[in-house]
Structure 1
């Protein structure tokens, strides 16, 4: 196992961080495609299209071809929510990471480095409108390169955020992740994060892609103890 270190983000890391973030998000497209195939709406569509094709053309071959192209279209559409999210982030907080995170009070961005290369990322931003009596830090952009997974880097990055939040006097660390990202959900629950909410995320392809987004909270014991 190659050694790694976690350090604060520097300007020279920008391209590597953006590339890792973009490729990491697109890795979720295959899982989204498989998720879509199990949705009742998709199953209905996959049944209706070939049936309609046979009734209108009388050709089973054309029906099979129509299903093939429909599956191809669904596979392309499964990428859409992640492409939109990447594009949004590259126009907002990821456009200037130093300004958005490093130079902002109560925020920071870290990278994991191994062999002189960035192999992991994570950021934290203060929540603008937290619940009354709480001071919350939101975890963003946890990512580890596919070649360096299974080495505990993701856990180390999350621990770095938790320690930073404690040092800065935050009462909670919060985050959101989709039901598609099962490995992330497993990681957060194993580290003590609690599910505190869920809502449906609807993409631009509104009829087809709807999945749950889970809200997690990691409350610090001392903060819980002193709540009124």
Structure 2
């Protein structure tokens, strides 16, 4: 199953969705952290708006000034706190990147293409990988297919590529006979939330993956897309 996505403007090249190949690895592993790191600034801004953060940013410098009588020390304390919060925002996403690179992204061919029921696709434009998505089986009975690592390069967004990738996963799930497509995304990934809801995914629940995420009030939201459980059209992961 291949797709050609014509860009909105005739001067732009078409995009081709195809199955992942091993020689895509370098580009995929470059695109993945690039997409995740875009959320660092959003996370930092979110943390700064929290009431507890505002109290800390105002209270700590004031306390230092009252104790030391030095505005310079108070300013240094404020800047140090801001740097620490910025570092925390970076660490949260870097931990997710590192975990992914140690698990399913460490060997895409093995985890996604080694067995029927899972797959990984890339979007190619002019020989470059500009998008990707994975679909990983979560149960032996083929009930749930998990959508993972949906990512489109920033310069190729707003052209329907992400939507086409999600449709690719949904069609694969239908062909394979899955009854559900599931995924998780954070509250801060607003464009992803809007996309999934627009395409018919339903919220199941939300949770905090760790105490740090709870502390900064960023829940992870779980979604599900229900499919008919009909295995009559079961197919293998499509080739290029």
Stretches of structure 1 that go unaligned for 5 or more consecutive residues are none
Matching of residue 200 in structure 1 with residue 211 in structure 2: no
Three-state SS of the structure 1 residue aligned to 2:133 is strand
CA contact (8 A) 2:213 2:219 kept: no
Three-state SS of the structure 2 residue aligned to 1:78 is helix
CA distance in 2, matches of 1:61, 1:137: 56
Quote how far apart the aligned CAs of 1:206 are: 6.7
Which segment is superposed worse, 81-90 or 51-60?
Answer: 51-60
Q: How big is each residue's C-alpha offset from its partner over 1:126-178, in whole Å with a ceiling of 9 and x where there is no partner?
A: 12388xxx811000000000111111110010000000000000011000000
* 2:225 aligned partner: 218
Stretches of structure 2 that go unaligned for 5 or more consecutive residues are 1-11, 231-240
Alignment partner for residue 120 of structure 1, among 119, 131, 135? 131
CA distance in 2, matches of 1:56, 1:207: 32
Query: Any runs of at least 4 consecutive aligned residues in structure 1 with deviations exceeding 6 A, and if so which?
Result: none
Matching of residue 7 in structure 1 with residue 15 in structure 2: no
CA distance in 2, matches of 1:207, 1:24: 23
CA contact (8 A) 1:178 1:212 kept: yes
Matching of residue 209 in structure 1 with residue 216 in structure 2: yes
Quote how far apart the aligned CAs of 1:73 are: 1.6
Query: Structure 1 length as normaliser, TM-score?
Result: 0.90
Q: How does 1:33-182 map to 2 (within 5 A)?
A: 33-128=44-139, 135-182=143-190
Give the total of aligned pairs. 219
* 1:186 aligned partner: 194
